[in-house]
Amino acid sequence: MSKVYFYYSAMNAGKSTVLLQSSHNYHERGMRTLLFSPAIDTRAGVGRIKSRIGLDAAAMALPADENIFHHVRSAHAAQPVACVLIDEAQFLTRAQVEQCTDISDELHIPVLCYGLRTDFQAQLFPGSAALLALADNLIELKTICHCGRKATMNLRVGPDGRGLKEGAQVEIGGNERYVAMCRRHYKEALA
**Nearest Cα residue to 145 out of 189, 188, 175, 185:** 185
CA angle 130/41/26 to nearest 5° reads: 70
Which of 28, 88, 98, 106 is catalytic? The answer is: 88
Query: Sign of torsion, CA 160 175 121 94?
Result: positive
Q: Is 113 helix (H, G, I), strand (E, B) or coil?
A: strand
Q: Catalytic residue at 28?
A: no
Q: How far apart are CA 67 and CA 44, in angstroms?
A: 23
Residues with catalytic roles: 88
